[in-house]
Amino acid sequence: MQTRSKCLALAGLVLPLALAAVPATNQARADEYPSRPIHLIVPFAAGGSADSTARVLAARIGKTIGQSIVVENRTGGGAIIGAEFVNKAEPDGYTLLLGQSGPISINPAVYRNLPYDPMKDFAPVSLTTTYPYVMVVNPSLGVKTLKEFIALAASKPGGLNYGTTGVGSSNHLVTELFAIRTGIKMTHIPYRGTALAVTDLLAGQVQMVFSDPISALQYVKSGALIALAVTSKDRSPVAPDVPTISESGYPGFDAIAWHGILAPARTPPAIVAKLNTEIVKALNDPGTRTLLETQAIQIVGTSPAAFASFIQQDIAMWKDVADQAKIEVR
C-alpha cells in the first residue's frame, strides 16, 4: 500500500507533463482527431460521483476540442456491462470509459469469469480524481473514536453489522481490509446502493458503513451520524477533522476510490496523448476544480504511464484482500 501511495504521489508530479513523443504516422491521425462527437461511457447510474465527474469533464473538454462529448450511462453487472462495451468498441478514440476502482481494480479480484482484462483490454489515459471512504456509525452505538469501535467489535465477534453496496463491491473490500488489519469480525449486510445502506445505518439496522464522502458527510454535519475515520493515507480536505485509519494506530492503511479515463486497447498512442493533454488541461481549470471539489472529489491528473502503474498496483492490492477474505462473485 505504501508503494501504491508513492505511485499516486508521482502521478501528481507528472500532471503538467502530459504529452509524450509519438510516431509521425500516429501523430497524423491525432491531428485529425476528433472530427465527430466522442462517447464517454459511465458504467454507473446517473447522479453518482462517477457520473458527476464524467459530466463535468465532458463539458469542459468538449469546449476546448470543438466536439461534443456525449456521456452515456450503461449500468449493470457490477459495472461490467459498461466496461465490456468499451472493450469491444473500435480503438479510434471515439468511445471512452469513465473507469473506477470497482470495475477496473476490484472486479478482477472477485469475479471468476470477467469478460475483460483491465491491463490488456484498455489503454489508460489519465487518472482524474480520487476520494477516500468515510467510516460512519450511528450515535446510538455509543462510540466516538475508531479505538472504541474496534474494542466494541472485538468484544462481540460477528455481533456488529456493516452495510455495503453489494458482495464484491468496493466498500465491501475496504471493510474486509479494515477487518483484516484490525483483527475484528463483523457481519456483512449487502444493499443495492450506498443510499440504502446509509438509510439503514440511520435507522440502526446496521452499525457501520464505509461510505463515499458526499453520501455520508451531510449526515455527519447534522449530527445524525458520527465519522470515525477516513481510509486515505492523508486526511481529506473535505473532512479535515476526521482522522485517518493510518494515524489511528494502523500505519500504512491507504484505500481510496478513484476515477479515470480509459480507451480501448490499441487506440493510437498519439490519440491517447492528445486526450491526456485535454484531460489534464480540464482538470487544471479552476472552474472544473471547484465543481468537482464541492462534490468531495479530489483532483489528480496523470500521464498514461503513471495511470497504468497505479492500476497495476491497485489490482494487486485488492486481489490480496479478496484472497484473504475469500470473496468471490460467480
pLDDT tens digits, residue range 233-268?
Answer: 999 988 999 999 999 999 999 999 999 999 999 999
Identify the weakest region by mean pLDDT among 73-82, 177-186, 219-228: 73-82
Contact between 283 and 299 (Cβ < 8 Å):
yes
Tally of domains within the chain = 2
Question: Where in the sequence is the domain holding 160, given as residue range(s)?
Answer: 134-230
* pLDDT for the residue numbered 294: 83
Does 23 share its domain with 90? yes
Q: Within a domain: residue 146?
A: yes
Q: Within a domain: residue 67?
A: yes
Does 31 share its domain with 123? yes
Q: How confident is the model at residue 65 (pLDDT cuts 50, 70, 90)?
A: very high
Does 321 share its domain with 303? yes
**In the predicted structure, residue 217 carries a pLDDT above the cut 80:** yes
Task: Give 263's strand partners.
Answer: 123
Does 123 share its domain with 142? no
Identify the weakest region by mean pLDDT among 6-15, 160-169, 285-294, 314-323: 6-15
Q: How confident is the model at residue 209 (pLDDT cuts 50, 70, 90)?
A: very high
* pLDDT for the residue numbered 77: 85
Q: Within a domain: residue 59?
A: yes
Does 125 share its domain with 154? no
3-state secondary structure at position 104: helix
Does 201 share its domain with 119? no
Q: Within a domain: residue 273?
A: yes
Q: Within a domain: residue 249?
A: no
* pLDDT for the residue numbered 195: 86
Is the torsion defined by CA of 186, 189, 193, 198 positive or negative?
negative
Q: How confident is the model at residue 203 (pLDDT cuts 50, 70, 90)?
A: very high
Does 213 share its domain with 159? yes
pLDDT tens digits, residue range 34-64?
Answer: 999 999 999 988 877 888 899 999 999 999 9
pLDDT tens digits, residue range 262-310?
Answer: 999 999 999 999 999 999 999 999 999 888 888 888 999 999 999 999 9
Q: Within a domain: residue 73?
A: yes
Q: Within a domain: residue 248?
A: no
- Which of 230, 247, 269 finishes a domain? 230
Q: What is the CATH number of the domain that holds 63?
A: 3.40.190.150
* pLDDT for the residue numbered 16: 43
Q: How far apart are CA 203 and CA 210, in angstroms?
A: 16
Identify the weakest region by mean pLDDT among 78-82, 154-158, 302-306: 78-82
Q: Is the peptide bond before 103 cis (omega within 30 degrees of 0)?
A: no
* Model confidence, pTM: 0.86
Does 143 share its domain with 55? no
* pLDDT for the residue numbered 22: 47
Does 121 share its domain with 163? no
| DSSP string for 46-70 | TTSHHHHHHHHHHHHHHHHHTS-EE
Q: Within a domain: residue 251?
A: no
- Which of 184, 212, 230 finishes a domain? 230
Contact between 292 and 299 (Cβ < 8 Å):
yes
* Pairing of β 187-190 and β 161-164: parallel
As a dihedral over the C-alpha atoms of residue 138, residue 141, residue 142, residue 147, rounded to 10 degrees, the angle is -90
Does 128 share its domain with 138? no
Does 176 share its domain with 216? yes
Q: What is the CATH number of the domain that holds 208?
A: 3.40.190.10
Q: How confident is the model at residue 172 (pLDDT cuts 50, 70, 90)?
A: very high
* pLDDT for the residue numbered 27: 56
Does 175 share its domain with 282? no
